[in-house]
Each structure stands twice: as structure tokens, then as C-alpha cells.
Chains A and B, each alone.
Chain A
């Protein structure tokens, strides 16, 4: 037995061990083990129904694993209160799902859950960071798809997460908005020293944004490694 296996290495921000989830007797995530280091952008790719989004939902604890476990910054997920875990592991969904209020109110939502009120200056910085300066007081009703997704990203960042999960955040966007979000994610991860797991069905997108790629198929981890190495192996 290797004692070191149970001791989390500091640079590993997220580690899964034999993570599985079954629904109605069918394994939708099947014995998935991997690690993500700080600063990594890990793209999870695979065909439709491969279990990519299901894996991400487990990591935000929107669903419960049926077996296996995972660690965030060395702590097992069950050691966190669900709300605290979700703050540490932020998530951007496929659709922005903004609350019907101003952009600023949306950004303040997360911190307000634990009694913090973001100052106007912090809100301005966040909207500027996602490329929407002067948008703070605007209503979310008239935002374009790309703008809404940028606000959704800023809203997740307002919680100061250690890990950012993004579930096909560009799938509903046009090519220009898609490239904009890709650049934004890369910049934000670098500037904040975040760790990011992005689900995409688009291997070209994985090639543009990811430092590492994880390929899933039928709920199983098929391959994981540096981006070019994995994508080359997938194409041969």
C-alpha cells in the first residue's frame, strides 16, 4: 500500500476516485478517476450521451455519486456543506439562466447567500473583466446570448471559486461570440489562477482552449493527457 496515495499533493486542486453514478440501473458515469492541477484547463470531450455533463454535475454536487468519491483542495466533497462546495466549485451552465434583475444583482447573488454584499467597484471590475463595461445597471432582459453568457461567467467568478466548471458554455452561441467566450475563459483562468473543467462536444474548441483533454465514452474515461497528444490519438 502506498501511503502517499491518500495524501493530496498541494498542486492538485481536484481529484476523483472511481467516481460513478447510475440512474435506473444504468451507469452514466462509470468508474472515472483523474486529477486536475491548479491552472489547468481540462476539456472533457466525447460523443453525445458519453456522460460529460453528468460528470460535471457530480463535481458541483447537483447530483450524488452512487459510488466513488472526489476531493477538492484535498478535502473530500462530503466534508463540505453543499453550499460551500458549490461556492468553491463554481459552474457555468449551457444556458445563462440569469435572474430577472439587473446585471449587478445577478453578480451579487452568490456572495449575498453568505451575507456578503459586493461593492459597486467590485461589480464594475467584474463586468469589465468579462468585456461588458458599463453593463452593471442594465437589465438582463435585453442581453444577447453572448453577453448573457459573459454575465453568467462573471456571476460565477463573483463567488471566488477555486474550480470553474463550464458545461458547453458556447453551444448556443454564434461563431464570433463563441470565440470571444473561449478567449475570456482562458484569460480569466490565467489571471485568477483558477482551475477549469470545460465540457465540449467540439474537439477543435478543446484544441484551442485546453491544456489537457479527457475523453469520455459510454460513461467511462477513455483517455486523458496533454491536449495535442490526446487529440492526435483520437484522430488516428
Chain B
């Protein structure tokens, strides 16, 4: 038994090493174009493996714990997701907005689906499935905030022209809010659209491997992706709504703009 566990661990580490090496190939190609991702990817890979092994260890410990502990674990994940997403966006109010959006977006979908028994409330089901929703909500939130920031910073003239004519601050960025929301949902929509044709997701593969009926596994995979879309969409809707006011000062001056030299 002990031998099987350690040999599986070794196998897992070897597989992780090979997969990480594949990521490094991308870095080498990027380097040829003078795009240096080495340190960022190295840190991400080390952090990724350390974090997932730590979570796996905690899950092993909590397997027989009370069900409410999954709520605490998911809340911790949402907090970490908000922090990661806001660091990526680097704009005023990003953490607060990300926190509210992910808690309200992913949190409410997880709670509702658990209540409706779409997600099993056992820790071994709720935490992994919930984490998928949180992770996707985080990615969507990052995409939405980054797109909003980039759009606003590249349309400073248009926004300030509208302000100079007496327009309300939040109204001047409405086109960029809509574009950010739409763009942030492209991955989630594409995942749903190409399900089963372009890819067979891991959850379904895992369920089949662990003996679940393939048809039920396939349907449940769709259920998960639909939940991901709901959680991501709600998160993006909330974050793009809340972030607008952080682009402006109290006197309706655009503060989210590249600092220009004085003329």
C-alpha cells in the first residue's frame, strides 16, 4: 500500500516535470521574440505545484471533517482569487471590486447550486467543483478589468471630451464597460460552444475513469460548464459595474489615465 502510494507520487512528480518542460518550450519561443517570461513562468509553476499539493493535503485531512469546512475553504479560495486578480489589473479599487464580484458571482452560484443539489455538498465534491467556478470567475474578472483599463487608457481623449461637455463620469465609459464584459466572457462561451468537439474536459474524463456512467459524466460536465458561465458572467457583470467609479475622482475627473508630460 505504502509502496503503491510512493510510486504514484513519484509518477505524478515525473509527469508534472514533463508538463512543466512543455511550458518552458513556450518560454524559449517567446525569448526568441525578445519576450522574457522566464522568471514569471518559473514562479507561477513553482507556486502552482506547491499550492495544489498543499490543497490536496488539506483535502486529505478534511475528508472526514464537518461539511461547513468546505465553506471556509471556498471563502479562502475566493479571497486568494480576488487578490490574484487585482494584482494583475493594477488599478485603483481593483481588490475591493474583485472581492465583491467573485464573492457575489461565484459564491452565489455555488450556494444556489449546492442548495438545489446540483453540486453534492460533500467536501470531496463541493470544494473541487466550487474551486473550478472560483478559478474561472477569477480569470474572467482579470480579463474584464484588464480590458476595461486598456480601453479607458486608450480612449482618454474621447472620455475627457465627453466630460468637458458635461457628461456624467460613469456614462462616458459605458462603451468600454460593455466591451470589457463581452470580451471577458469569450473563453467561457467558447468552452461551452466547443464542448465535446474541440475538447473533453478533465472532470468528465476523471468521472469516467473512476467508474461513473459516461453519459451521466458527459451531462454533468455540461452542468459544470454552465455553472462556470453563470459564475463568470455574474462576476464580470458585477466587477465591470463597480469598477467604473474607480476610474474617476469625486469631482468626476478621469484618474485612470497614463500620466502625460505637462504642456
A-side interface residues toward B, CB under 8 Å? 23-24, 26, 28-29, 48-54, 60-64, 82-84, 86-87, 90-91, 93, 95, 97, 99, 109-110, 113-114, 152, 155-156, 159, 199, 219
Interchain CB contact under 8 A, A84 and B251:
no
Whether B263 lies near A51 (C-beta < 8 A) is yes
Q: Is the CB of A23 within 8 A of B262?
A: yes
In the complex, A199→B262 CA distance in Å? Answer: 13
Q: How far is the CB of A77 from chain B (nearest CB, A)?
A: 10
Q: Assess whether B129 is interfacial by the CB under 8 Å rule.
A: no
A141 to chain B, nearest CB (A): 15
Assess A110 versus B165: contact at CB under 8 Å? Given A28-B262, A53-B263. yes
Complex interface residues of chain B between 76 and 129 (CB less than 8 A to chain A): none
- Sample of 17 further A-B pairs with CB below 8 A, known A62-B253, A93-B164, A97-B157: A23-B259, A49-B261, A52-B263, A53-B262, A61-B253, A62-B254, A63-B253, A83-B166, A83-B167, A84-B166, A95-B157, A97-B160, A99-B162, A113-B167, A156-B164, A159-B165, A159-B166
A76 → B minimal CB distance (Å): 13
Q: Contact check: which of B166, B168, B252, B253 meets A110 at CB < 8 Å?
A: B166
By a CB distance below 8 angstroms, the chain B residues around A29 are: 262
**B167–A109 touching, CB < 8 Å:** yes
Contacts of B157 in A (CB 8 A): 93, 95, 97
Closest Cβ of chain B to A73, distance in Å, is 16
Contacts of A51 in B (CB 8 A): 262-263
Contact with A along B219-253 (1 / 0, CB 8 A): 00000000000000000000000000000010111
Q: A82-B251, A83-B168 are in contact. Are A93 and B259 (CB under 8 A)?
A: no
Minimum CB–CB distance for B229 against chain A, Å: 31
Chain A contacts for B45, CB-based, 8 A = none
Q: A49-B261, A63-B253, A82-B252 are in contact. Are A109 and B160 (CB under 8 A)?
A: no
With both chains docked as a complex, state the minimum distance between the C-beta of A135 and any C-beta of chain B, in angstroms: 19
